Amino acid sequence: MTRYVFITGGVVSSLGKGLASASLGALLQARGYRVRLRKLDPYLNVDPGTMSPTQHGEVYVTDDGAETDLDLGHYERFTGVPARKSDNVTTGRIYTDVIEKERRGDYLGATVQVIPHVTDAIKEFVVRDVTDEDFVLCEIGGTVGDIESLPFLEAIRQLGNELGTEQSMFIHLTLVPYLKSAGELKTKPTQHSVKELQSVGIQPDMILCRCEQDIPAGERKKIGLFCNVPVDNVISAPDVGTIYEVPISYHERGLDRQLAKHFRLASTVIDLDLSRWSDIVDRVKNPEGEVTIAVVGKYTNLLDSYKSLAEALDHGGIANNVRVNMNWIDSEIFESEDAVHYLSDVEGILVPGGFGERGAEGKIAAAKFAREHNVPYFGICFGMQMAVIETARSLAGIEKAGSTEFGECDEAIVGLMTEWVRGNKLERRGAGDNLGGTMRLGAYDCMLVDGSLVRSIYAEKQISERHRHRFEVNINYKQRLEEAGVVFSGLSPDGVLPEIVELPSHPWYVGVQFHPELKSKPFDPHPLFESFIGAAVQHSRLV
Ligand code: GLN
């Protein structure tokens, strides 16, 4: 039997509902259960692929090629369960499906309405593709009280009724602010938020209260009383030093025990082995050293836009027992100022994924600085493309090297990709295609060249990594670039798409067309990040 846990949020956004859901998933796994995590997003975009990362944070790409909400990244990092297309849905997607069905005449003359047609589509999504999972944790984006969330709340209310309490549970995450001037924790916002939830017919079974500090029994009792929830099910969720502490903190405060009670699971109080998490926390809190990595990008004003990247760098640090300080630098700076001012004291330079011409020359300058000064360089997707342009200009003498992403150019080292092979199928795209969902997305295989750096880092011949790009390094320049010292060390299995480049003459200089950060986990750091941070540690010893 699959049980469903619905997680809603109240009072304010950004409380860390995604992390809370991911941590609950990790605890249930530690109890031996199979879990799947899903997210319902109440905005009208069909997926977040067309949204600016500065507004909505990074786009998390799944193996099966979906562009999803960044919370799916938390889910995957905390549980190790690969997220799928069917784990994230938006209002836009639901309405598109309903309207397409209406146009086909599938509703047989019915008046198509939010209830039941939209809510039915949401319910179908929640239970779709569930096979042997013991638990499906379903997070509802946004904050209770938003107009947009209503159809989702109505759908989960209905589902809760249909499934019954033995198969469903509602958890509400709220904020209990501490008022310094009064010296008090305030429970009123939580009371109001729960009332809001009750007004749409949902009685939470458990309230998870985010707070700067632990919430004493007195306040928890008060919340329980006003919100109609047993005091043991009012769980304090205080701020912690590192996100990897969250599962431990929740367990200590009874989250999984109370959930087990709710579902009448065989064993409620058990000695959970959370050593996987305490080991990580220990490493994060007691590093043996530190390195500083400059991340030269475009969306540096909202760190959520590079969420997985920051996490993967941390994982690289965990693997090397060092703390990784990240210097987020807007690449445009290097277009007017000399890179040396900003990059001379860092132990590694990373240029992440990105789109568009703005700041591109600055990224090229950063790659050049790293190459000339033997600073470890890691180029990811756009960061690889810019590195190839830089080496083409500086090493191969192709002065006009550029990318057609920025308009027509004489030497299109990076050009629009129009066809590529997926499995046995050829995928085709044209320059005038829609922007949404039309990139080369998801997991593709890559063959590594024997004797290369990446071949030894991965210790495998064939790898699979996730992609999200529309442009590619032009294979026709391979020979000229290789003659200039750039090695194409990873290629698509048909040998047509360059996937990895490296510079053997440099201590650590790797550019990858894919996004390795998406698959890194705290307990299983990605080999490229482990190796890159290792090289940064080496570099710090040299200077
Ligand atoms: N803009 C580049 C492309 O579409 C790189 C994309 C990325 O960095 N994810 O190919």
Per-residue model confidence (pLDDT) at position 266:
79
Q: Which atom of ligand 1 is nearest to the CA of 471?
A: 10
Residue of 351, 378, 385, 414 to mutate, ligand 1, most atoms within 8 A of C-beta = 385
Residue (of 343, 288, 293) closest to 536 by Cα position: 293
Integer Cα distance of 154 and 257 in angstroms: 28
Write the pLDDT tens digit of every residue in 405-420.
998 888 899 988 777 6
- Taking the CA of residue 356 as reference, the ligand 1 atom at the shortest distance is 1
Ligand 1 centroid to Cα of residue 385, in Å, is: 8
| pLDDT, average across residues 279-287 | 95
CA 52, CA 47: separation in Å to the nearest integer? 12
Ligand 1, atom nearest to 353 Cα = 8
In angstroms and rounded to an integer, the radius of gyration of the C-alpha atoms of the chain is 25
pLDDT digits (tens, 9 = 90+) for 240-250: 999 999 999 99
Give the residue from 364, 404, 516, 374 showing the smallest Cα distance to 454.
Answer: 516
Which residue, chain included where needed, has tokens 């306040």? 219
Instruction: Tell me: pLDDT of 538 over 80.
Output: yes
Mutational pocket test of ligand 1: of 438, 466, 468, 473, the residue with most ligand atoms within 8 Å of the beta carbon: 468
87 CA → ligand 1 middle, Å: 24
pLDDT digit string (tens) for 4-63?
999 999 988 878 899 999 999 999 999 999 999 999 999 888 888 878 777 778 999 999
Among 305, 331, 357, 381, residue to substitute to test ligand 1 (most atoms within 8 Å of Cβ): 381
Paired with 272 in beta bridges are none
**d(CA 108, ligand 1 centre) in Å:** 44
Q: Which two tokens stand for residue 540?
A: 């710090």
pLDDT of residue 436: 67
Three-class secondary structure assignment of 419-454: EEEECCEEEECCCCCCCCCCCEEEEEEEEECCCCHH
List Cβ neighbours of 241 (8 Å cut-off, separation of 6 or more): 281, 284, 285
If you measure from the C-alpha of residue 117 to the centroid of ligand 1, how many angstroms do you get, rounded to a whole number? Answer: 38
Distance CA 194, CA 204 (A): 8
Atom of ligand 1 nearest to the CA of 468: 9
Q: Indicate whether 110 pLDDT > 70.
A: yes
**C-alpha distance from residue 110 to each of 99, 118, 182, 292, 529 (Å):** 13, 13, 57, 62, 55
Closest residue by CA, ligand 1 atom 8: 353
What pLDDT, on a 0 to 100 scale, did the predictor assign at position 336? 84
Average pLDDT of the chain to the nearest whole number: 93
What phi and psi, each to the nearest 5 degrees, are found at residue 175? -115, 130
What is the tens place of the pLDDT at every residue in 435-472?
A: 666 789 999 999 999 999 999 999 999 999 999 999 99
Backbone angles phi, psi at 186, to 5 degrees: -110, 125
Residue 472 CA, ligand 1 centroid: distance in Å: 8
Report pLDDT digits (tens) over 463-484.
999 999 999 999 999 999 999 9
Ligand 1 pocket, residues with Cβ under 6 angstroms: 353-355, 381-382, 405, 468-471
Contact (CB, 8 A) for 501 and 388: yes
Residue 54 pLDDT: 76
Catalytic residues: 381, 515, 517
CA 380 to ligand 1 center in whole angstroms = 9
pLDDT tens figures, 486-531? 999 999 999 999 999 999 999 999 999 999 999 999 999 999 999 9
pLDDT score recorded for residue 385: 97
Among protein residues, the one whose CA lies closest to atom 5 of ligand 1: 382
Share of the chain above pLDDT 70, in %: 97
Q: Which atom of ligand 1 is nearest to the CA of 355?
A: 1
